[in-house]
Amino acid sequence: MKWLLLLCQLLLLPLEATTVVVHSSVPANSLSQSQLRNIFTLRQTQWPDGSPVKIIVLNDNSPIHQRFCREQLRLFPYQLNSIWDKRSFSGTGRRPQQVDNIAAMLALLRTEPGAIGYVEQYTAEPAIKEVRIE
């Protein structure tokens, strides 16, 4: 059944890559895939200027979140969750802020310096910038 659903998804829905976006204060225009993974797995917690990284993610059951995890991080959502639990319950890290939808993510990205998140389609605006993944 799962394979059938996956096949339907592949045939019917064009898979758009997610776009990584950050608050305009973030001193980076591009990140390597390894850096992006380091950030979302709470290994790198600061931007190059020393300011804290603030991660914003959608809920686990969001198809955009699932696609972001697979395509950009090469991880499954449960793996990320387990890493976040491990870091936050051992006191060595802080769980990312979870939001319900893209509108809430954009709202936080506009107001939180150091914030990083992702969207399906980026529309240029002054407070948020796109980050290239190389």
Residues at the contact surface with other proteins, assessed by CB under 8 A: 2, 31-32, 34-35, 37-38, 41, 43-46, 48, 50-52, 60-61, 74, 76, 78-79, 82, 85-86, 88-95
Residues counted in the chain: 134
**Are 31 and 73 spatial neighbours (Cβ–Cβ below 8 Å)?**
no
In whole angstroms, the minimum distance from the beta carbon of 123 to other proteins comes to 28
For other proteins, the closer of residues 31 and 123 by Cβ is: 31
For other proteins, the closer of residues 100 and 124 by Cβ is: 100
**Are 15 and 104 spatial neighbours (Cβ–Cβ below 8 Å)?**
no
Tell me if residue 22 falls in helix, strand or coil: strand
For other proteins, the closer of residues 44 and 126 by Cβ is: 44
DSSP bridge partners of 117: 21
